[in-house]
Amino acid sequence: MKKYKVWIQIEEVDEEHDHYRDIDLPYEAGCFDDVDLARKFVDDKLIMLREQSPDFPPMSITLRLFAENGQLWIRPKGYGEKCTMDGEGSPVGMEIWQGRLRLIVFDDINSENPQTIDLENASEACRITQ
């Protein structure tokens, strides 16, 4: 019986010298009996945003997630920031700053100034119980 596995792997890429090197062993993210189920897993769980309103035509945007320097950055395909090349920008980030969780949103590609949203009031510790 055939199985279809979805893997996550980190690879170092030096395109200038056409050199590729695996950083770690691949991580198995899922195993499926059907190739369509494997593709659906990738589309639904890992890298796709889909239109949620039934009043608009279906559309999707591919996402790439980056964790670097203790921050999480989201790179939707076709979106970016003023000071990055096309395809290289991450207009949404999350970090801890001065002990507080916050979002950083570059909502205008023509501006270097992000919007910062403090999330501390969304902490479960802030929930008012009755």
Q: Tell me, yes or no, whether 82 and 45 share the same domain.
A: no
What are the residues whose beta carbons fall under 8 Å from the beta carbon of 81, sequence distance 6 or more? 89, 90, 91, 106, 109, 112
Q: Tell me, yes or no, whether 9 and 34 share the same domain.
A: yes
The total of structural domains in the chain comes to: 2
Q: Tell me, yes or no, whether 84 and 128 share the same domain.
A: yes
Q: Tell me, yes or no, whether 130 and 68 share the same domain.
A: yes
Helix (H, G, I), strand (E, B) or coil at 49: strand
Q: pTM for this structure?
A: 0.63
Q: For 14, phi and psi rounded to 5 degrees?
A: -120, 90
Residue ranges of the chain whose pLDDT lies below 50: none
Structural domain harbouring 112: 57-130
Q: Tell me, yes or no, whether 41 and 70 share the same domain.
A: no
pLDDT at 108: 97
pLDDT at 46: 63
Q: Tell me, yes or no, whether 38 and 62 share the same domain.
A: no
